[in-house]
Amino acid sequence: MTSSAAPANVLAIVVNWNKRTCLRDLLASLRRLGGAPFDILVVDNASTDGSAEMVRNDFPEVRLHVTPRNIGGAGGFNTGMRIGLGDPKGYQFLWLLDNDVVVHPGALDGLLRVMREEPKCALAGSTLLLLDDPGQVQECGARIDWTDARVTRIGEGPLAKLPAGARFDADWVAACSLLARVDAVRQVGIWDQEYFVLWDDMEWGIRMKRAGWTVRSTTESQVRHESFQNRRVKSGLLMQYIGLRNFFYFLRRNAPKDRLEPLLRLHLERALNLTDNSREAGKADQVYIARLGLRDALRGRMGPPPPELADAPKPRPAAGTAPPRLRRAGFMLTADPESARAAMAVVHKRYPGLRLDTLLFTDHADVLRERFPNRRRIFASTLVSRLKLLVRLPLQYQATVSQSWVPRYFYEELLPYTIRVDEKGELEVRRRDLRRTARLAVGRWRNRRLAAKWTRALVNRPLPPVDYFTFR
């Protein structure tokens, strides 16, 4: 907070939408922070849970701006940055914060130290620790490999393994906690508001780097935040739609010219294949959302989610197939270890003598650090690795088991059984169906052709201009 002894040259900007309790916890941690002085601005996106009233009553020192409607994270941060850039106080730095983080002592001072020692740094990001396990790092910024658009988090794993005061070069740092240099913002601009949420802060980092600035992260600044993987699992169909749509928009805006076409073709084909898998599994809601996301990606429709999302069909009840006698199965783990343990317990209760191996279909450290029975790392990022799975899994297991929200993969079709566990602990058991497998195989060939056709259409369609300088 601002002290009377020194003027603040930092404005902390928090965007909130219906997270009253989380916002209270964040503001309380900021009130206790100490160190360099700073002002706080909360941009509330027309919350209906009493968030604005709580700020007014409990944190009178905080500046509050309430928008007339929900304009998303991108719109909220843009609104806050415009206010900060136009303020007569002449702030030198803008500290962007998620409403559901808790800041650790020295969080701002660590970011300011990076900025003062590295004058070409545009964005400095905090180390993001798990909310329920602050000894584990989610990321210290991230990098993207334009070979296949794979995102790698920096510093994942135990905090103790990272050197004290470590700094990392990143392609972007998450707006969970990032400090932006005002001079860089005035040169490069604010966010592309069309994203609404997701991929917006990522693009900002890439634009900063391409303008000649650097993006850094540091362990000198730490905040706690819920696992990204768990949040996506719990966020439902809305975030599935936005994530799919925004990813293709991000590629079109930022992929190198020589990589744009192959990346679009690769990821369009993957999205179509997963849609086919969901359709064959009877997951009409996931099929609907995937088609809607692909439709809007192709049309270039961005901004707030469409009202049609409300019409998504409800997921069907779990199938009543009689469970088979099982000796060995593989549990496909991709995220959310807590719910995975609950699902495993349900399966073991149904099949007391079952050997359940844990197949880790992820490289996220917040999952890999967990102790699960009979762990095996599974790699499925290349064609060769996927072909190996087609052969190995049916030879080793009678069934694959996973939570109901995990995408269905083609190589599961060759096992005798596929089992999904829903949020209520009910099991859906599917027997192998060679006709269904044949339809999926034919669909793979069709999807390859369709992805090529859609790629040509996207490459040839110009993107609309974006005004990044509405603050001028």
Q: What is the DSSP string of 361-410?
A: ----HHHHTS--TTEEE---SSHHHHHHHHHHHHHH-SEEEEETTSPP-G
For the chain, give the percent of residues with pLDDT over 70: 95
State mean pLDDT over 98-109: 96
In tens, the pLDDT along 390-444 reads 899 999 999 999 988 888 888 888 999 999 998 788 888 889 898 998 999 999 9
Task: Name the band, by pLDDT with cuts 50, 70 and 90, for residue 338.
Answer: confident
pLDDT at 17: 96
Kindly report the backbone phi and psi dihedral angles of residue 170, in degrees, each rounded to the nearest multiple of 5, phi listed first: -130, 160
CA 416 to chain CA centroid, nearest Å: 33
Reported as type and span, the H/E element at residue 350 is: helix 337-350
State mean pLDDT over 93-105: 97
CA distances (Å), origin 316, targets 95, 344, 347, 423, 463: 44, 22, 20, 13, 38
Task: Name the band, by pLDDT with cuts 50, 70 and 90, for residue 1.
Answer: low
- Contact (Cβ atoms closer than 8 angstroms) between residue 408 and residue 384: no
Q: Look at the block and give the residue holding tokens 């719990």.
A: 234
* More confident position, 403 or 235: 403
- Contact (Cβ atoms closer than 8 angstroms) between residue 3 and residue 37: yes
Q: Are β-strands 133-139 and 157-158 bridged in parallel, bridged antiparallel, or unpaired? A: antiparallel
Q: Which of 215, 178, 169, 159 is nearest to 80 (CA)?
A: 178
pLDDT at 4: 45
Q: Which of 303, 298, 367, 313 is nearest to 335 (CA)?
A: 367
Kindly report the backbone phi and psi dihedral angles of residue 215, in degrees, each rounded to the nearest multiple of 5, phi listed first: -125, 125
Q: Residue 62: CA atoms inside 13 Å, Cβ hemisphere, count?
A: 28
Task: Please name every residue paired with 177 in a beta bridge, in sequence order, or none if there are none.
Answer: 97
* More confident position, 373 or 115: 115
CA distance 352 to 329: 12
Mean pLDDT (the chain) is 92
pTM of structure? 0.87
